[in-house]
Amino acid sequence: MHAFCSTPYFEPFAIPLILDKLSSSLPLAKIDSLKYLKNCMPSFGGDRMLQHAQHIWTALKDVIFNLPPKLEALSLTPDSGRDMKSDENEIATEALTCLKEAVLVYTCPDGDVFLSLIINDTDIEESFTSITLQRNRFDSPDKVDSQLSVLGSILSVTATTSSFCCGRVFQKFFSRLMIILEVPAQNSKYGQDATTKVASRKLNYGALCLCVLLLTSGRDLIATSLESSVGMEMLQDSWWYLIQDFSVPLTSTFKSALEISNIVVSESANSNQEHVFCCVKGLQVLATYPGPYSPITKDVFEDIIAAFMSVITGSSSDSYLWKLSLKSLTMIGTSITRFNDLDRQIIYNKIVVKQLVFLLVQKDSTSSIAPTLEAASEIGICGLDYMLQVIPAIEDAIISSFMQACVDGNCKTIKVLVLLLDCYCSKVLSWSHNSGKLEAPGMSFAIGILGCMENIIDLKIEPRMQDLLNRMMMALQLVVRGCKEHDQHKVLHKAFNVLQASGCFPVGSLPLPSGIYELSQFTQDLSEFTCREEWLLYFTASIVMALHQQTPVPDGGKLLNLFLVFLLKGHLAAAHALASLINKWPTGFDILGLSKAYTLDGTIDLIVTLLSNILLDNPGRAVTMMNNEGRPTQFFSNLQIHAVIGLGWIGKALLLRGHDRLKDITMILMKCLLLCENEMPSLSSDGSDTCNGKDLQYLVARSAADAFRILLSDSEVCLTKNFHAIIKPLGKQRFFSSMLPILHTSVKDCNSSRTRTLLYQAFGHIVCEVPLIVLIAEAKKVIPLLLEALSALDGDIMNKDLLYCLLLVLSGFLMDEKGKEEIIDYVHVVINHLIKLISYPHMTLVRETTIQCLVAVTGLSYTRIYPMRTKVLRALSRALDDKKRFVRQEAVKCYHAWASMASRSLR
């Protein structure tokens, strides 16, 4: 391409060759020709290219007419796109780009030959005449739309090239369109009757679309010139004054047609929507001309946005018109922000923003608040000035709704509150964090919610409202994570003060009771908390999860004590908060407000020792003592399970941080897991127990196996980069390398089938979270354990998700080239395990993935798998009758893959 353009002397040879290639029927040949032509024209210059003007226009016209481009401005929905991968669309796009380049090259002060060829072309004139006839008189709608797309594209591209070209296009077509639409000029004696006339008829659709396209071209030309500061002195040319002359009656026509479209019965719903879209688009375009160069007055601008707001706040059931109106208002608001139009911003604030803010405060019902919320959030996103008004309104609405819900527990109020929180988190806070224009978004919200909790005596919201609690916690987390350190400290200090003022929480300093029996007695003696007190704890925990590492923590020792106690009572949020504190523990001591005795290692020692004592230090004695006092054995088992979960989260915090003390936690979990091999004393219950000590110990051991999933799985709630966690690379890989020999030895030495199953469960949780390349590097040890785990875990329905994840790991081995080399020695075992899982009853995905793995097996050595062919086909015949269609489809593919193996030759 660069060789073609290297010198103007190639022009006599290059242009005919390119034009000849452009007539090819091959799409790629057309695309290449258009690209070459686009680059050659400016290099060769207008004088040399003058002799080719007619040929170039004819060639480009043929391409555009034969492959009509799809204009987004003519689609029914503003956001509808097109498939840019399509050859036809790519050809049409390149042709229009080439056409614009040709107009630029040929248009000069001395002549406009190429522009005249376009405007005076007979095909263009015929298309204009055909389009502006009322639809369905002569041509089919599809043909009219195709012609409209072609003509609109050519005129739009030509008009946006320069102010001179725009003037020629407007001079030729715009006045004629006004006559067809019966829109008189503003200074005409008929100008004031435009609204009355349009009410009695339906506008010509083709003329309406072309009018909107020309108005859009003029606006885009001005916007491009303003941003590039090129040709600004010629912006208010003859075409601009032409729009200004028709602006008032044209606005009235669009508005009236918009109103009439809702009540006039059209030939079809689509036809009516097309007219509605064009009218809305026309009003939007007129209102988005940059302020100093806008052809409409401030009164007309105010009239346009007032018309849109009447749709937004009205009771119309037309959702299509409502969405178009909101889209137009957001486009207008974005345009005002883009060009910093202060005069129009005042009008926009008055009519749009303030009215939506007022409606947010009213929040009469769920049905009315939902569209208002959507409108307010979309408008706020248009600019910082708008969002600064929307945010306080939404926050006040949330706080007042929360207060009302706490007082009366009304279900409708709670539904409104859920809608407010969803909008606040997903749109408002998301925009605030991404834009970076607000320093501490949501500070007043967080302080306000904590103030509500401080003033409320009795929370009427039912404890089962877990969904609302989760949303409130997430809102607080998102708010706190976006604040600076000193702002986070203020919020946390407020939360801790509210906790202390309640007087119901054990906020004494560390250390905690160290003995098992003493601690169990301490935790059980704590009174049952009200819903308000539990919510206070959860709110404080959510704040702690989102803190920066450098944020000063008031009374850090008391917070550790609080979260540790409530962790043992089974509150998962306390475990999350405790893990977040450990993960972000600073090197300095003053930040947490603790003495120098509480270094990171010292605090880990304290917590791990306490939890270890609960799990491992003579548990039989504690159970016996509690049983003698009439306390249920189940209580001690729950205490141990909560301690295991706490160890899992603390271990996760240390794993992400890369701390060496992780191995101590891992060893404690392994000891808990292996404890069920030893029999605990079987205790007679007092009527409150339902199982003996051995069964309870198995539950603890199973929890220890599940703790490995906590250690390695990704959490969305805490310990993530979004919430400022310390995360060092390759943590999972290092943990896997250290655990694999331990698990391998433990499985080999284990004599209990139940314990071996738990070991496989722990192994499964680990390998499912480790990258495949790491597993393949240790394939000799991983594959045998993986296959044994598949066999051991298929009997328990509680392991179905883990079983599915292990199948995904196996499929990774079967698809990877190095994995295939490693697994080929176990292929018969693999096939036997997969055959067994074909009829797995508890999960469809397991059966489906199993069959997909069998398909992957066919890619292994023919001589190794062929002896298993008959057995596989027999098993697949049962899967062909599976109750799930997706399984049957996969079974058919797999059956064909194995059945066709007979025709393969031995190599």
Rounded to the nearest 10°, the torsion over CA 135, 141, 146, 149 is 50
pLDDT in tens, 37-73: 888 888 878 778 888 888 989 999 898 888 887 766 5
Per-domain boundaries in the chain:
484-588+597-623+633-676+694-725
pLDDT in tens, 202-254: 678 888 889 999 999 999 988 888 877 665 556 677 888 888 888 899 998 88
Of 68, 64, 52, 42, give the one whose Cα is nearest residue 18: 52
Buried-exposed string 126-148: b where 16+ CB fall within 10 A, e elsewhere: ebbebbbeebeeeeeeeebbbbb
Q: Are the C-beta atoms of 207 and 181 separated by less than 8 Å? A: yes
CA distance 689 to 251: 79
Indicate whether this model's pTM tops 0.75. Answer: yes
Taken in order 654, 660, 661, 666, the sign of the CA dihedral is positive
Confidence at 473, pLDDT banded by 50, 70, 90:
very high
Reported as a single tens digit per residue, the pLDDT across 819-829 is: 899 899 899 99
pLDDT at 157 over 70: yes
Residue 261's pLDDT band (boundaries 50, 70, 90)? low
Per-position DSSP letters for 143-196, written without gaps between them: HHHHHHHHHHHHHHHHHTT-HHHHHHHIIIIIHHHHHHTT---TTSTTGGGHHH
Which residues, in sequence order, are bridge partners of residue 111?
A: 108
On the 0-12 / 13-18 / 19+ scale of CB atoms within 10 A, 394 is buried
pLDDT bucket at 716, cuts 50 / 70 / 90: confident
Closest CA to 6 of 32, 39, 31: 39
Peptide bond into 290 cis (omega under 30): no
The confidence band for 519, taking pLDDT boundaries of 50, 70 and 90, is low
Closest by CA position to 308, among listed 336, 329, 339: 329
Task: Give the side-chain half-sphere CA count within 13 A for 500.
Answer: 13
In the predicted model, what is the mean pLDDT of residues 151-173?
90
The mean of the pLDDT values for the chain is 81
Find out whether 162 and 138 touch, Cβ atoms under 8 Å: no
Residue showing tokens 């919200």: 445
- For tokens 């829109």, the residue is 183
